[in-house]
Structure 1
Amino acid sequence: MSLGIADSQSNFFDDMAQFCEKTLPKDSIYAFLHDERNRLFPDEAFADLFSGRGRQSVPPSVIATVMVLQRLEGCSDREATERYAFDARWRYAAGVGSYDVSAWPVFSHTVLVDFRERLRRSDKPDRVFEISLQAARAAGLVGRKRVLDSTPLYDAVATMDTITLIRSAIRNLLKVADRSLRDSLVRVLTSGDDYASSAKPTIDWDDRDAQAELIDSRAKDAYACLVVLEAKELTPEVNQAAHLLATVVGQDLEQDDDGSFHIARRVAKDRIISTVDPEARHGHKTTHHKFDGYKGHIAIDPDSEIITSTIVTPGNAGDASAAQDLIGDLLEDQGSVGSDDLIVGADLANRSDPTEDVDEIDRPTVYGDNAYGTGSFHDRLEQAGIDSRCKTQDPVGELFTKERFDINLTDDTVTCPAGVRVSINRNRHGGGVAKFVEACTPCQMRDQCTSATQGRTISINSHEAALTRARNRQRDPVWRDDYRATRPKVERKFAHLMRRKHGGRRARVRGLLRVGNDFSLLAGAANLARMAKLQARSNPCGGWEVVM
């Protein structure tokens, strides 16, 4: 398929365009895309997705516009193509005009499916988001402050129990195996299950013995299949199916002394929850808010609320694990600054006035809740000369907290409230522990300090100095006021992104890569809608500006 080119000549006598021109607000996304579509999504920018031969595609500028509106309004592919065909605002935004002058009056919903797949396989799968961010930067809407947070993205499949996981994994293996290998696998199945149906076997589910027999028989089928595959040269598809089978059996089952298998009374650390979407995971946003699926991470500029970065991780990933990638642009900017010009985080922490001799506007700053206040992230920000507004959890408890102990990292000692000093025993990772075992027994303050029979111990983080500086910073009223005024803006942004109009929190696709691409597209569409509200427009000189 070759690249299709949209007609850049507008019809001044188009009644539909004239009606939209007079009635749509100037800050609407439809008017913004109508005016800036060719600047944002020139057809040539997508030339790498097509070949030089074959019939012409629907112009990419039209498809990209439809994809942006589709994501903003939470439409399916069929609904999006219907909106494009019958909604005057969509046609106005796409620049196709009325039906009597349009070269592309309608197109099939499969065009959107094909275009997304072409984008996914390209070198720049997130180019819609990248285009929106480049335009926002050119308009001066992206500064040097970032606010980080994450939100659950519920998976698009049903979470499977152990029996369903094992049967589904065996069925997948039989499906991808060739006839000879399939016959070998079928011969070792002793449970009597042909694994043709996805429905659970019919048993008395109130009978514990029947349940145990079911689990044991299907587990033995799974292990027998794996034995058949051992030392064989497998195709990539069979190898992947075998690996999935081995994983789901190993994560949920334990073997008794008599050789029978039963469900383990534990949850595996990285448990697969569905063979349909093996990358989805159990996750929790808080102690009481648990979910299955993925986490969507964003960084925003708090002044303009433009999203500067997006990442999608499995649901069980910690927020801080994605933090450095979210602020990659700040780290690159600071890396290009000379060492003499860097604002060292340790120096900032030691100043009585954190703002003295530093331009508040130009200082790179990162905001985040307790999930981002790890020692390693604080240390990384300090090394890069970035001011940390990431909140760090203070020690809590009814007994003496860690703050009551004098930690001297220079001497590698810890002194307790009773005045006893002990050395820190370091481990190979740089952390350590200080044990007051012998001193606790005769101590009169023991009841106020610990209830442990072995006495009090103090854990020392490998980045203890950075954590201490972070806790000292956040006691400053100026720091607290700035944090409370700025960090909630990312919560509002997530409320906008995840509202029902945009499709809610339910993932629209399966797999980490596709969910990440879709989340990036949503962020790009939200950026363009935000730029429309802020009256950002291109100028004749080739740049962007905010029209006041």
Structure 2
Amino acid sequence: MAHIQYKTFGQLTLSDYEVFSSVPAHPFWSRVEEVVDFSFADQLCAPLYSTKGQRPYAPSLKLKIHFVQRYHNYSDREMEEAILYHLHLKRFLGVPVSFNGFDHSTLGLDRDRMGSDLFDACHHHILSQALAKGLWGKEDDRWLIDSFHTYANIAKVGSYRLIQQGILQIIQHIKRTYSKLYTHLSQGCPLKSFLKRLSDQAPEGDRLVLFSRLAVEGYSLLHWLESERAKPLFWAWENDKQQLRCLELQGILYQILQENTKPVNPYGDGQAQPQYKELPKKEKPTDRIRSAYDPEVRGGHKTKSMTFTGDKIQVLESRQNGLILNTEPIPGNEWDGDRLVPMVEEMVSRYHVLPKQVIGDTAYGTGGNRQKIKEMQILLSAPIQRSTNPTGLLESNWFVYDPSMDEVTCPLGYSTSKKVRNNKNQGYQFKFQGETCQACPLFDQCTTNEKGRTVFISDFYEIMEQGKSYNQTDEGKNALRARYDVERTNHEAANHHGLRKPRTRGRESLRITSKLTAMVINVKIMVKKLAESIQPFYRYKNCENRVKAPVCPN
């Protein structure tokens, strides 16, 4: 690969040194260079640039700018202003006092060019430097895992507005990128109702008519784009990227229509056009699109009563010094425990470091996770999820399972070895005889099934029992108390660095933001542990010179 020559500022002038030397040392930015070397980005990002043409700014410089932006939770425009006027940031970036080369669009384009995978690589480069300095990776280290929710940068809308968003996206995209197709669309597929607002005060009959017309126009637009008249023009689109984007927007609109509308008379029944009505909330899929502008966003539950619309961010942390080892955004409706094993496996395979223990909450303590983590020679510590009987009758823990005999015994001593495989829940359903259960004095308290009580026994019964016994020991109780340490990191990332309400849209952009946040938190820890302390700047060094406020007489 050819060597890339980046744009340099040369040696700073005497006036630059005079200005920077007059600025007091910053407690953070003046110490970062002592513990972190950002030069790895120049080689890492070299394939993104050409050896011809104008020399680009060094990726290490731009990585520092992204780093500063995430530290302060600046927007792109705020970061542009900070580079212009903040002297301590100019000194940290190594640019002259007169430097004004970056604007807000440059920052956004650079993030898009790098992508989340390169930012993930930058995160691991910094983490490797922390490992080389002994800040994590010891044999007795414990890894903590948890997630926190985010609120998506979207407006919550109903089905009517959601369909409008899908139609508008397609029309605006075609109008902006392919004027010839837009002209034919305006003539061949006139849309009249998709811009009309649906007032809450409108009569119910008018609301139903407007909704039906909007759904019909949505399907009509999709049908016209697939018609014989539009196909030759559509597939003659010269810009393949914009053509693919149009196909994606059509898929989004079609999914929105399928998830929110229901045909009343799909074939017209002698009328001029078919009619549609909105699906009841209970009939809509839980995994439905919530915004046409950010179709990856899903609704989730933080607790049984608290819901949110957005993503969740998984955080894997080393308890040794609180460094973030791995972080990944996931859909808001995804089960937290599904990402435990992939995140741990990635860290073990990348660094060949095995922790003593992985600690998480109840969502991570499933039998499958315990088995896979045990195969990696790591102990998984997590609370056991308490099983409940939805009927309110006797719960399964009243029954005793004997693995050696492979049979289940009820509270009154009746046993059964008759079982049926339950592939969905990964276990067996043990069945008691109906005659035995009906003759039992606890029948009314045990089951309402005349054919007899059934008890589910998981394939991971033994490893779950081992986990339950370990949690009752002093060591297990201490481990479960240690898992709360990760909450401080979650609070810092969510509230101090803007991940609770991110400005971005799309999971790819959120992944970039989460990787940069992990870098910021890790560097803050490295500075605290490794860099030399700096005396804070006081306006008056001697207490005698300070102006004291007057005291009111009694």
Give the TM-score normalised by the residue count of structure 2: 0.81
How far did residue 13 of structure 1 move? 8.3
What's 1:134 paired with?
128
1:368-401 deviation per Cα after TM superposition (whole angstroms, max 9, x unaligned) = 0011111211111112111011222123467533
How far did residue 292 of structure 1 move? 0.8
SS at match of 1:308: strand
What's 1:269 paired with?
286
What's 2:549 paired with?
none
1:499-535 deviation per Cα after TM superposition (whole angstroms, max 9, x unaligned) = 2x42251122111111111111111111111111112
What's 1:292 paired with?
309
- Residue 475 in structure 1 maps to residue 483 in structure 2: no
Task: Indicate the larger mover: 174-183 or 522-531.
Answer: 174-183
SS at match of 1:124: helix
Task: Indicate the larger mover: 395-404 or 311-320.
Answer: 395-404
How far did residue 440 of structure 1 move? 2.8
How far did residue 318 of structure 1 move? 1.1
Q: Distance in 2 between matches of 1:412 and 1:185?
A: 68
| Alignment map for 1:87-486 (pairs within 5 Å) | 87-96=86-95, 98-99=97-98, 104=99, 106-120=101-115, 124-143=118-137, 144-177=141-174, 192-193=192-193, 195=194, 197=195, 200-201=196-197, 203=199, 205-230=201-226, 235-256=243-264, 260-265=275-280, 266=282, 267-332=284-349, 363-396=355-388, 399-422=393-416, 423-428=418-423, 430-436=426-432, 438=434, 439-450=436-447, 455-484=452-481, 486=482
RMSD: 3.1
Q: Distance in 2 between matches of 1:238 and 1:450?
A: 56
Q: Distance in 2 between matches of 1:437 and 1:225?
A: 60
2:491 counterpart letter in structure 1: A
Q: Distance in 2 between matches of 1:188 and 1:9?
A: 63
Change (3 A) 1:4 1:48: farther
Q: Distance in 2 between matches of 1:409 and 1:8?
A: 75
1:292 counterpart letter in structure 2: T
Q: Distance in 2 between matches of 1:172 and 1:400?
A: 54
Please tell me whether the aligned partners of residues 6 and 59 of structure 1 are also in contact (alpha carbons under 8 angstroms). Answer: no
Change (3 A) 1:494 1:10: farther
SS at match of 1:418: coil
Change (3 A) 1:161 1:205: same
Please tell me whether the aligned partners of residues 395 and 402 of structure 1 are also in contact (alpha carbons under 8 angstroms). Answer: yes
How far did residue 63 of structure 1 move? 2.1
SS at match of 1:116: helix
Please tell me whether the aligned partners of residues 2 and 50 of structure 1 are also in contact (alpha carbons under 8 angstroms). Answer: no
How far did residue 284 of structure 1 move? 1.4
SS at match of 1:154: coil
Larger Rg computed on CA atoms: 2
Change (3 A) 1:5 1:145: farther
Q: Distance in 2 between matches of 1:451 and 1:10?
A: 87
2:473 counterpart letter in structure 1: D
1:112-154 deviation per Cα after TM superposition (whole angstroms, max 9, x unaligned) = 1222122118x62423322221111111112253111111121
| Alignment map for 1:451-530 (pairs within 5 Å) | 455-484=452-481, 486-499=482-495, 501-530=496-525
Change (3 A) 1:206 1:98: closer
Change (3 A) 1:205 1:432: farther
- Residue 14 in structure 1 maps to residue 13 in structure 2: no
1:80 counterpart letter in structure 2: M
2:507 counterpart letter in structure 1: L
What's 2:540 paired with?
none
Q: Distance in 2 between matches of 1:213 and 1:409?
A: 63
Please tell me whether the aligned partners of residues 407 and 414 of structure 1 are also in contact (alpha carbons under 8 angstroms). Answer: yes
How far did residue 2 of structure 1 move? 6.2
1:278 counterpart letter in structure 2: P
How far did residue 410 of structure 1 move? 4.8
Please tell me whether the aligned partners of residues 34 and 94 of structure 1 are also in contact (alpha carbons under 8 angstroms). Answer: no
SS at match of 2:118: coil
Q: Distance in 1 between matches of 2:22 and 2:450?
A: 80
How far did residue 294 of structure 1 move? 0.9
Aligned residues: 497
How far did residue 291 of structure 1 move? 0.8
2:466 counterpart letter in structure 1: R
Q: Distance in 1 between matches of 2:312 and 2:146?
A: 10
1:135-194 deviation per Cα after TM superposition (whole angstroms, max 9, x unaligned) = 11111112253111111121112123111111221222334455676577667868732x
